[in-house]
Structure 1
Amino acid sequence: MSNLIILLVPLLLLFMMFRSNKKRQDQAKEMRSALEPGAGVRTIGGMYALVKSVNEETVELEVAPGTVVHFTKGAIAAVLEREEYDAIINGRPIEDEPTESVDEADEKPLSLDKKDESDIDGTDDEAPKSK
């Protein structure tokens, strides 16, 4: 009985490892098959680009206006939503994120008055008052 348990535990672990790897491969294949021109992507190297065309084994990515490079489909780490890609590339906030309101006090330009200037250089520009 104990020999049977010793044999079953490693077999069960191997089965679980192969199953999780297979799921990951299927997800990656599904993601890569969903590539279409105009989609924003992130490569495994961390570069963001727009898909220009999808070939059998490669993908043409526009990394800058007028600059198209070829990558294998395996180099695509993630296909991004249009809003997410726009927020990353152009620095625009995603619409469902709350935007911070600016107080009126923050809008006024900073200025130094006479008292602040004397504190900065360490001297007191005003003459001491005598009684």
Structure 2
Amino acid sequence: MEIILILLVLLVFMLPSILMMRSQKKRQQQVQEMQSSIQPGDHVVTVSGLHGDVVDADNATLRIEIAPGVVVKMETAGIMKREAVESAVQEPAVDDSEQRPE
């Protein structure tokens, strides 16, 4: 009976750790896949918070334009996320408040 109690206590303490390790491993794999799929033209954010556009991509390094004419060379592991590139032409918001009859 004591052995079952000890096993249950161990299970209660070990189960959250195992679940956290699995989720962390899954997240790490997703980040590695994202980093390996970065291509020139992608807009990225680095772990230090710099935003820029990828100019050139090798296996381990990227050249990122962070301002017009300013290109930095970074390790691929330094990329935190890839953001969607916004289109340069956006439709103006339509204000139809004047068109409604009162």
> Do both proteins adopt the same fold according to a TM-score greater than 0.5, normalized to the shorter chain?
yes
Q: How far apart in 2 are the matches of 1:71 and 1:36?
A: 14
Match of 2:62 in 1: 59
Match of 2:93 in 1: 99
Q: How far apart in 2 are the matches of 1:25 and 1:101?
A: 45
- Is 1:27 paired with 2:30? yes
Residue 59 of structure 2 aligns to a residue whose secondary structure is: coil
Q: How far apart in 2 are the matches of 1:35 and 1:62?
A: 14
Q: How many residues align?
A: 95
Q: Provide the TM-score with structure 2 as the length reference.
A: 0.78
Q: Output the amino acid matched with 2:93.
A: T
- The structure with the largest strand share of the pair is 2
Structure 1 residues 62-71 or 26-35, which shifts more? 62-71
Q: How far apart in 2 are the matches of 1:9 and 1:77?
A: 34
Larger Rg: 1
Cα deviation, residue 79, structure 1:
0.8
- Is 1:72 paired with 2:66? no
**Aligned counterparts, 1:1-131, within 5 A:** 1-83=4-86, 99=93, 101=95
Q: Output the amino acid matched with 1:41.
A: V
Cα deviation, residue 66, structure 1:
1.9
Q: For 1:29-77, what per-residue CA distance to the aligned partner results, in whole angstroms no more than 9, with x for missing partners?
A: 0110110001111112222101011122211101122211011112111
Identity value in percent:
36
Runs of 4+ in 1 over 4 A off after TM superposition: none
Residue 82 of structure 1 aligns to a residue whose secondary structure is: coil
Q: How far apart in 1 are the matches of 2:71 and 2:5?
A: 62
Q: Output the amino acid matched with 2:7.
A: L
